[in-house]
Chains A and B, each alone.
Chain A
Amino acid sequence: MNSSIPHTVSTVTEIPPTPLSLSRRSSRQLRRIMDHAATVVITVGGLTTILSILGIFAYLFIEVAPLFFEASGSKVASFDIRPIEEATTLSGNIGVGLDEYMEVAYVLQANGVSLYRLPSGDPLVLDSMPTFEPGQISAMGRSSGKSHIYGLGTREGRMIPLSINFRMAFNNDERTIHPTVTAGDPLAVTPQPERIDLIAYQETENGQIVAALTGAGHLYLAKIQEAEGLLSMDDESELLHSEIKDVRVSMITTLVLDVMGESLLAGTQDGHLLHWDLRNFEEPRLMGSYPVGNAITALSYLIGDRSIVVGTSAGNVEVWMPTIDPNIGGDPKLEKIREFPSHNSAITVISPSQRDKGFITADTSGKFALHYSTSGKTLLEIEGTGSPIQGVMFSPKADGAVFLNQDRQLLAYHIDNQHPEATFSSLFGAVLYEGYQEVLHIWQSTGGSDSFEPKFGLWPLMFGTLKGTFYAMLLATPLAVFGAVYTAMFMSPNLRSVVKPTVEMMAAFPTVVLGFLAGLWFAPLLEKIFPAVSAIFVVVPVAIVVASLCWHFWPSKVQKKSGHVLELFALLLLIGGSVWICLQLNTEIEGWIYGSDYKAWLSSTFGVGYDQRNALVIAFAMGIAVIPTIFSISEDSISNVPRHLISGSLALGATPWQTLTKLVIVSASPGIFSALMIGLGRVVGETMIVLMATGNTPLMDLNLFNGFRTLSANIAVEMPEAPHGGTLYRLLFMSGLILFVFTSIVNTIAEIVRQRLRARYSQF
């Protein structure tokens, strides 16, 4: 043998170079290249795959991160407005504003409107523009809402409505803004000509309403109500007048009407917030007078007309809200619910956002700040030039603002504030929402209109997730782990090879199927047979205990002969039988235990209601979904306990029972633990079952008999409606990220435990 090998080698080398060997050399080269190429391809391909898998986490994070970006403001324009005659300045605030694309800004002065292009500051001249005599206009008030409508108070006691519109035109895909300014018919507010010093004006759904404080110290109200009824063809409208008589009227510094024209707010010099109910227009009723502390210098409703922002001469910014004491009832009282950091100099103007609960406050030092009411956070503060700000408008899209200061300088800012609703405390903490009496965790992402305050409390969803997980694991853990012990320790190999795949087949049921069965079959059924099911939880264990007693005292001959096959069949029959009996006796059981109506019993005994789709249904459905996972991994770890350890234990005289409890369970416990962890990970993120078999109501209630909403189901429900890039969209990504991180942690723990266990077993 030894000699033949060198011989063959030599024959190979002795062959003279031929085309064949040439091609062999080139083929060798080719092979080397191929090998090299394959290495590169596999390495690159493998790494890309792995990186792209890991990239999921990075991507989720990137989508979530903007939620927590701080707001920023950048000046886009700053210019002096046209010099104006002294007579045209007004004592109070000045109307400024801008269109939704921040291309045109306006300043409303006593002699009319002047328009400027942004950011250049070039004046924009319109063909027709209402003008006023010098000194004619003595006050102005902005009607809150999306459109730019002002009520101008005159020195004769009249009110002229003025509206500024921005019409958009597209020409070759280029957008141009065409502003128009129109003035309406003057409306007599005061009975005698009197100079209006302060005016609040509001265009309502079916008319206009004005509150005007005159130089003579009268507070007059006027209202135009369009005639109701569809049949009236001509513009019949009714003009109503009324006056508010109150000693504090002369001290009023600021007046605000709500959008409906139903309530009037006033701030006074001596620091009181006055609230009148105007629903009975002829006789306005003072609802309350609330001390604020310092003179009120600015006042505004936030969108939705519930929250009121109060600015004082000391620079305090407060949010007030109507609340009703649940014990007393009656009229709502205003209450201060939030305080923002003080400006330290008198607040001059407050401008609310048109799309959320944000608002801008500006002061006499020229500083302005952006606040968000729901979260109670001041998002942005920009120091001013020292010149008091006289006019502010938060842009219609809440992405910018325009300011006018006393130096006649117009400033335009771009504000980057994508997600004001989302702060760490408003997502995870309890929040006092509008219309609620106490701080709560609420998830309610969408409402009918912009004025709705979105409630992004993630706790109810996380609570729901944990609730579902808890009940499902409560049911699945004993069944799966005990089942695994039995299968691994007491079953004959033949039986085991049938039983194990059968249980594992449960894992093959798509969860949508389990969800469907749970929601449409089991939930209605459970509602009917609840008494029987509750009895099953008692009857079956008792039956098993009794049966095992019988078995124990059975002649041991029979025991040995039959082995565990008989045992399993006996159990199948026993359980099937007792379940069947319970179901047959459903109505009787209801009578015995629950006094003929279990729902009434539940509500009278525990004070809980019964929803058809509840946590119990979920426990069953998710339990079934997770039993095979836990069962399979636990069974593996138990049956992998080294055989010779068990044999040794038995040889030393321990009973099988002792061997099981003292040896097998102890050494397999890490495996069982990791099985439970993996099961937990699966339950936490399960979507279809909870989506289909719970009511999807985001409640915070541990009650077994009502529904809940989980993070995962919430994503499935709301994602299709969430606008791309919006707060809700990113919050749903955050829900996904929370699930991702949670399951990753749980699975990593499980995996590490399992690897350790494997290493330990391999020592034996």
Chain B
Amino acid sequence: MRQAFNKFLSSGTLFVWLCGAAVAMSLLMVGGILLLIMVNGLGFFWPHTISEMTLKDGTRLLGEIQGQEVIPNSMTPESPEGKTRIRMKIGNRDLYGLDFQWVDEEDIVARSTPQDVVVFERREWGNFYGRIQQVTQGDMVMASDNNQAWKILPPLIEQVNQLHEDIDVIQRVEIGDINHDMEQARLKIQALHIKGISQSPEIVEREATIQRLEIQYQQQVETLRQLDARLADYTLTLVDTNGREKSLPLGQIVEALRPNDMGVGAKCLTYLHNFWTVLSDEPREANTEGGIFPAIFGTVMMVFIMSIAVVPFGVLAAFYLKEYARQGAVVRIVRIAVNNLAGVPSIVFGVFGLGFFVYAVGGTVDQLFYPEALPNPTFGTGGILWASLTLALMTVPVVIVATEESLSAVPREYREGSIALGATKFESMWRVILPCAMPGILTGLILAVARATGEVAPLMLTGVVKLAPALPLDFHFPFVHLDRKFMHLGFHIYDVGFQSPNVEAAKPMVYVTTLILVMVVIMLNMTAIALRNRMKKKFKGAAV
């Protein structure tokens, strides 16, 4: 027996199995995390069934069942299983104070999924679960029971949403334009003052412009007031499952659904609609509801600016190191240094970006070019340009290494052939080697983009904000506003998940953002891997 055991040990089977277990565990972790994100992220869009529970004491609860667990320390000798409780999302934050409630299963007397229950997505206070008592227009009652109201509601909600859109256009576009022009005029005057001119026809003209704009502004505000008033044209009186009433203007409603009355097809449509809303809408309620469009936009734009900065410099450096510099100890050391830089923690780049780009460079730019706006900083504070440049600096080693690798992969014969045919060094570089190395450079860029997309720490110091008032791209000259602060998917996760007052209610939003971010990053990485593999195949034949 002992001999057999010794043989077992010396055969190494045990060790092989342990090694295999390590791989299996790693695989389980990847799979588990992906699954977790997918289930939570994708489940968010699905219109869940609404359950109504009647409890022992006669009260009723209405909401989505979100989980079930064994009550800790509830095990008794009689029932070793213990008691279970259900976690329900009951919404109606304005009435109950909390969105979630635990219900002990033994307290539940009856359960049902009534067809007529309506879920209201509201602009404030989160969802409302209940029924409609009546719909009034002024003093006129338009519908006085749940089903009747449900029939007239859809067009009214559409109308209200249209109103919100109009208001949004006025606030963002019209008033935004006026504010922008006013600010410009004010800065021009300030600039003249700085030059020492206090009286000039230009100043008079600008002041007149400001006054004119002021009048326009008042008009727009008046229009807004009227539109706002129209939002309250209809009043909706809702009741929760226990009969508590809640009146609110129809303008508060974003969407009304009867999930228990929907077929699978309708649910799928709603699913897609919800998905699109998240992708395209502005955030609401301290980012915990609504959409994440500005975060997506900010991420894309930041990565785009970063790419513009990182590619030429990374490629130039790689060409220099590989093709022009004399290969020796110095280049080897530089190469190690560049490699090292890829391993330097991202937060260090953030610190550097803050100190160098924001304070040193940005502060100087402000003094030279934007003295009229001081002491309000223009570039002397975090912004999308500085964030992009910081990330460019962080990812430039990735591009350099990838480009160098792809340059090494270009067979020597190509170079020699090109030179032999009479091309200058630059020509053979431009016409022969660069095209060959292109997939490698692209791989490097994609890897850089993938790394930059998921990076948050340096951005926190260089210009990302939880809620940016305006996108860094709009219709005002110069159209691209590199000085503006921006939103970012990764920071959105951190902010909504950890800084919002109601983390529990915000979780679905975080999962959705996570899902989108992870998908983007994984897709980028896969593209890079595919490109690299293609390149390897392409040169495999040529090198021989």
A residues lining the B interface (CB < 8 Å): 31-32, 34-35, 37-39, 41-43, 45-50, 52-54, 56, 59-60, 63, 478-483, 485-487, 490-491, 499, 501-503, 505-506, 508-517, 519-521, 528, 540-541, 544-545, 547-549, 551-553, 564, 567-568, 571-572, 574-576, 579, 587, 596-597, 624, 627, 631, 655-657, 660-661, 678, 681-682, 684-688, 691-692, 712, 715-716, 719-720, 724, 732-733, 735-737, 739-740, 743-744, 746-748, 751-752
Contacts and interface: CB of A to CB of B under 8 A. Distances in A.
B15 A715 contact: no
B211 to A, nearest CB: 27
Contacts of A491: 23
A45 B317 contact: yes
Contacts of A737: 348
A35 B324 contact: no
Contacts of B314: 49
B316 interface: yes
B539 interface: no
B19 A685 contact: no
Given A485-B19, A744-B340, A549 B27 contact: no
B407 to A, nearest CB: 12
A482 B82 CA distance: 41
B535 interface: no
Which of A46, A48, A509 is the most central at the interface, judged by chain B CB atoms within 10 Å of its CB? A46
B269 interface: no
A46 B396 CA distance: 12
A491 B24 CA distance: 12
A606 to B, nearest CB: 22
Sorted from nearest, which 4 A-B pairs have the closest CB atoms? A685-B345, A46-B320, A510-B454, A657-B12
B517 interface: yes
A551 B337 CA distance: 49
Contacts of A627: 26, 29
Nearest to A678: B343
Nearest to B490: A512
Given A49-B313, A510-B454, A513-B517, A34 B426 contact: yes
Given A510-B454, A571-B20, A692-B498, A631 B347 contact: no
Given A483-B23, A736-B348, A39 B18 contact: no
Given A50-B338, A520-B510, A596-B73, A548 B16 contact: yes
Contacts of B522: 505, 508
B351 to A, nearest CB: 4
A730 B59 CA distance: 60
Given A42-B316, A43-B320, A512-B456, A544 B347 contact: no
B533 to A, nearest CB: 10
B286 interface: no
Nearest to B359: A724
B159 interface: no
B521 interface: yes
A59 B355 contact: yes
26 contacts: A31-B427, A38-B429, A49-B314, A50-B337, A56-B393, A482-B22, A510-B456, A512-B456, A515-B494, A548-B16, A551-B13, A552-B13, A571-B20, A574-B21, A655-B11, A655-B12, A657-B11, A685-B346, A687-B345, A687-B457, A715-B351, A716-B460, A719-B350, A719-B460, A724-B359, A739-B345
Contacts of A511: 454, 456
Nearest to A540: B21
A483 B12 contact: no
A624 B33 contact: yes
Interface string B125-169: 000000000000000000000000000000000000000000000
Interface string B2-36: 00100010111111111111111111111001001
Contacts of B490: 510, 512-513, 688
Nearest to B423: A31
B213 interface: no
A343 to B, nearest CB: 40
B505 interface: no
Given A568-B23, A692-B498, A751-B340, A509 B33 contact: yes
Nearest to B353: A56
A752 B336 contact: yes
B356 A59 contact: yes
B393 A692 contact: no
A49 B317 contact: yes
A210 to B, nearest CB: 44
Contact of A743 (B24, B340, B521): B340
Contact of B529 (A486, A501, A571, A579): A501
B46 interface: no
B409 to A, nearest CB: 16
A42 B426 CA distance: 10
Which of A49, A660, A661, A744 is the most central at the interface, judged by chain B CB atoms within 10 Å of its CB? A49
Interface string B436-453: 000000000000001001
A42 B517 contact: no
Interface of B: 4, 8, 10-30, 33, 36-37, 69-70, 72-73, 75, 82, 312-314, 316-321, 323-325, 334, 336-341, 343-352, 354-356, 359, 393, 396-397, 400, 424-427, 429-430, 450, 453-457, 460-461, 490-491, 493-494, 497-498, 503, 507, 510, 514, 517-518, 521-522, 525, 529
A688 B4 CA distance: 51
A483 B22 CA distance: 5
B22 A568 contact: no
B344 A513 contact: no
A482 B349 CA distance: 33
Contacts of A735: 351
B316 A41 contact: yes
Contacts of A545: 14, 17
Contacts of A684: 345
A515 to B, nearest CB: 7
Given A59-B356, A505-B30, A719-B461, A513 B493 contact: yes
Nearest to A591: B75
Contacts of B312: 45
Nearest to B10: A657
A458 to B, nearest CB: 15
A684 B345 CA distance: 8
A684 B397 CA distance: 19
B494 A692 contact: yes
Contact of A688 (B321, B343, B494): B494
A751 to B, nearest CB: 5
Contacts of A478: 22
B23 A486 contact: yes
Given A39-B425, A724-B359, A736-B351, A712 B457 contact: yes
B317 A50 contact: yes
B319 A519 contact: no
B346 A571 contact: no
B456 A53 contact: no
Given A512-B493, A685-B346, A716 B457 contact: yes
B507 A53 contact: no
Nearest to B363: A724
A568 B20 contact: yes
B497 A571 contact: no
A668 to B, nearest CB: 14
A548 B352 contact: no
A511 B455 CA distance: 7
A627 B22 CA distance: 10
Contacts of B426: 34-35, 37-39
Contacts of B70: 587
Nearest to A659: B12
A551 B430 CA distance: 59
B233 to A, nearest CB: 41
A182 to B, nearest CB: 33
A369 to B, nearest CB: 33
A35 B26 contact: no
Nearest to B351: A736
Given A49-B396, A510-B455, A571-B24, A490 B19 contact: yes
A576 B28 contact: yes
